[in-house]
Chains A and B, each alone.
Chain A
Amino acid sequence: GAVVSQHPSRVICKSGTSVKIECRSLDFQATTMFWYRQFPKQSLMLMATSNEGSKATYEQGVEKDKFLINHASLTLSTLTVTSAHPEDSSFYICSATPPGVGQPQHFGDGTRLSIL
């Protein structure tokens, strides 16, 4: 089945650091990938839609300059949390949809980001 790989799985770093998270579709090409944020014991909130070869589409309230998204190839999207602060600590999950009619989104295993 379709596999989405996310790396790293866990990041702990100091306040002010920028952190890059990678999302890869391993066995299919994805022109669109999605980035979600999940707080403890809460649901997933869509942050942005990553579009291969063009700018990402951000949801209302998500800072574009804070969460930089790059989708340079059909199998890789990256999310960079710039100058991270403790309030950015969260679980970040990406997803991608394989080609084909009615395919569900496939999710990575998430990245636990902890900013000290």
Chain B
Amino acid sequence: SQQGEEDPQALSIQEGENATMNCSYKTSINNLQWYRQNSGRGLVHLILIRSNEREKHSGRLRVTLDTSKKSSSLLITASRAADTASYFCATSPNFGNEKLTFGTGTRLTIIP
């Protein structure tokens, strides 16, 4: 069963604006990851944050994790048309990074 839920389900913004997506989960985790999926393609790993971390940056991506609220957010700054995709959070219960449980995803559309 799916553990995570993401909101919003869909998000449309103008190019150049920032996009924020949220993810909530239900059980204890070792780490939380964000993936990107272009339409009809596989998933691309974006960033991983461990349960003992609160914030992590990678380029235009910023991820936060609040284990007390069992939630995470992904911020994409200065969005580009090429950022249009679906974004999924995924949690893993162990350090070995197996048995990922995916959230419901956010479909992000960047309007040029």
B98 to A49, Cβ gap below 8 A? yes
In the assembled complex, how far is the CB of residue A61 from the closest CB belonging to chain B, in whole angstroms?
9
Interface size, A (range):
20 to 34
Let me know if A104 and B33 touch, CB within 8 A: yes
User: Most chain-A CB neighbours within 10 Å: which of B35, B43, B48, B88?
Assistant: B43
Which residues of A, 35-91, contact B by the 8 Å Cβ criterion?
Answer: 41-46, 49, 91
Tell me how far the C-beta of A69 lies from the nearest C-beta in chain B, rounded to whole angstroms.
15
A20 lies within 8 A of chain B by Cβ? no
Closest CB in chain A relative to B50 CB, distance in Å: 8
A84-116 contact mask (Cβ, 8 Å, vs B): 1 or 0: 000000010101010001111111111010000
Interface members, chain B 2-32 (any A CB < 8 Å): 2, 31
| Interface residue ranges of B60-112 to A (CB < 8 Å) | 88, 95-105, 107
Give the shortest distance, in Å, between B37 (CB) and chain A (any CB).
9
Give the interface of A toward B (CB within 8 A). Answer: 4, 6, 32, 34, 41-46, 49, 91, 93, 95, 97, 101-110, 112
Q: Assuming A43-B2, A97-B97, is B103 touching A104 (CB within 8 A)?
A: no
A46 to B31, CA, bound (A): 17
Question: Known: A49-B99, A97-B98. Contact between A43 and B104, CB under 8 A?
Answer: yes
* Contact with B97, one of A44, A46, A104 (Cβ below 8 angstroms): A104
| Contact (Cβ within 8 A) A102 B98 | no
Cβ-closest 5 pairs across A and B: A107-B42, A104-B45, A107-B43, A109-B42, A43-B102
Residues of B within 8 A of A43 (CB): 2, 88, 102-105
